[in-house]
Chains A and B, each alone.
Chain A
Amino acid sequence: MIWKLLIFILMTAVIVLSFTTPAPQQAIGEASRIMYYHVPMAWISVLAFAMSMVYSIQYLRGRQLSYDERALDAARLGFVFCVLAAISGSVFARVAWGSFWNWDPRETSIFVLLLIYGAYFALRGAVEEEDRRAALTAVYSIFAFLTVPFLVFVMPRIMPSLHPADSVVDATISITMGPTVGLILLASLVLFTSLFLWVFYIAVRIRRLQRSDLKKED
């Protein structure tokens, strides 16, 4: 319980600081404050898709359906955070570039990522038999994650983009933020990660309950 209260208090502090300290990028202005939420959302989607891949590998090694369910829950949460990152990014785009969607390389890559994981859910819905569905989607999840580093980190950097490229690190991987901005962003990243792990843990427990319920019915 204490860690949950700690998450609440610290996240509230991050929200207050994100709106009351000077804007992280003076050249962009007030809209740059969205970075404190947009960057952690994008990070969580990458983390969740990575977890989905790891659970998929574990399923293929042990053929336990609980791993397949965890892979699905991680992919679902990753998809939700990916949508949130796209929405927060398009709000920023409206303020900074005058339009919600410009088909900028960053926007295109997140759109492609959403399509790839949308296809993962479509594949799950298309196969009826449990073990076959789990095996097929596990293989798909592994290949889907291979595209994530390219779409999130490589493609937007090798193509000319309007997206701020050096707000966290520059081309030489040196940190470009001031200490206050860095501290708020780091705290936000840690708290968003804790929140994601909490939600994921709840989802896993609900699955476990559903499984034991089904066993009892049998």
Chain B
Amino acid sequence: MDGNYVAMTVTIVVWAGLFLFLLRLDRKVRKLEGRWR
């Protein structure tokens, strides 16, 4: 079960990193779209 908590923590860290990356990319794209309008 201890191994499960380690795996869970690693998965959450990876997921949070991926989510933040997507959020930043989304914002950057929106900013560029704003410039084109």
Contact = CB atoms under 8 A, between A and B. Distances in A.
Interface of A: 4, 7-8, 11-12, 15-16, 18-20, 30, 33, 198-199, 202, 205-206, 209, 212
Given A19-B4, A20-B8, A202-B29, 15 more contacts: A4-B23, A8-B16, A8-B19, A11-B15, A12-B12, A12-B16, A15-B15, A16-B8, A18-B8, A20-B4, A202-B25, A202-B26, A205-B29, A205-B33, A206-B29
Contacts of B23: 4
Contacts of A19: 4-5, 7-8, 11
Interface string B1-37: 0011101100110011001001101100100110010
Given A12-B15, A15-B12, A19-B8, A202 B33 contact: no
Nearest to B35: A209
A46 B23 CA distance: 25
B22 A202 contact: yes
Contacts of A30: 3-4
Contacts of A212: 36
A202 B21 CA distance: 12
Contacts, number: 42
25 contacts: A4-B26, A8-B16, A11-B15, A11-B19, A12-B12, A12-B15, A15-B8, A15-B15, A18-B8, A19-B4, A19-B7, A19-B11, A30-B3, A30-B4, A33-B4, A198-B22, A198-B26, A202-B25, A202-B29, A205-B29, A206-B29, A209-B32, A209-B33, A209-B36, A212-B36
Contacts of A15: 8, 11-12, 15
Contacts of B22: 198-199, 202
Contacts of A198: 22, 26
A18 B4 CA distance: 9
A212 B35 CA distance: 11
Contacts of A209: 29, 32-33, 36
Contacts of A205: 29, 33
Contacts of B36: 209, 212
A19 B11 CA distance: 10
B8 to A, nearest CB: 4
